[in-house]
Structure 1
Amino acid sequence: MTLVAVMHEMRFAREVCDRLVFMHGGRIVEHGPPAALFDRPGTPELAQFLGMIEAR
């Protein structure tokens, strides 16, 4: 079964998703397993977004 959800709840996304897609400016910037995106963001946009989330 496949489910597509749009969310900003990163803790939930990390726990339940098999794959994540990060979009910036209406384009897919990165995609992959949660551990890869959260632990090793490959773009400055994702790193900045994750930094904003962690600061809360």
Structure 2
Amino acid sequence: MLHYAVVFFVIALIAALFGFSGIAAGAAGIAKILFVVFLVMAIASFVVNLLRGR
């Protein structure tokens, strides 16, 4: 998940560099969503791991 977020971030940077602001905004939005999903899944995994250890 984090890998895809980084890929879309790089696509957004390259698109912004070449002046494609619409594509850059879309790719940056997708990267933000993927990063938030990654954080939620990482935190959920951490909490489940803590609870299972007891």
TM-score normalized by structure 1?
Answer: 0.30
Query: 1 or 2, which has the higher strand percentage?
Result: 1
The higher radius of gyration belongs to 2
- Compare relative contact order (CA 8 Å, sep 6+) and give the higher one, 1 or 2: 2
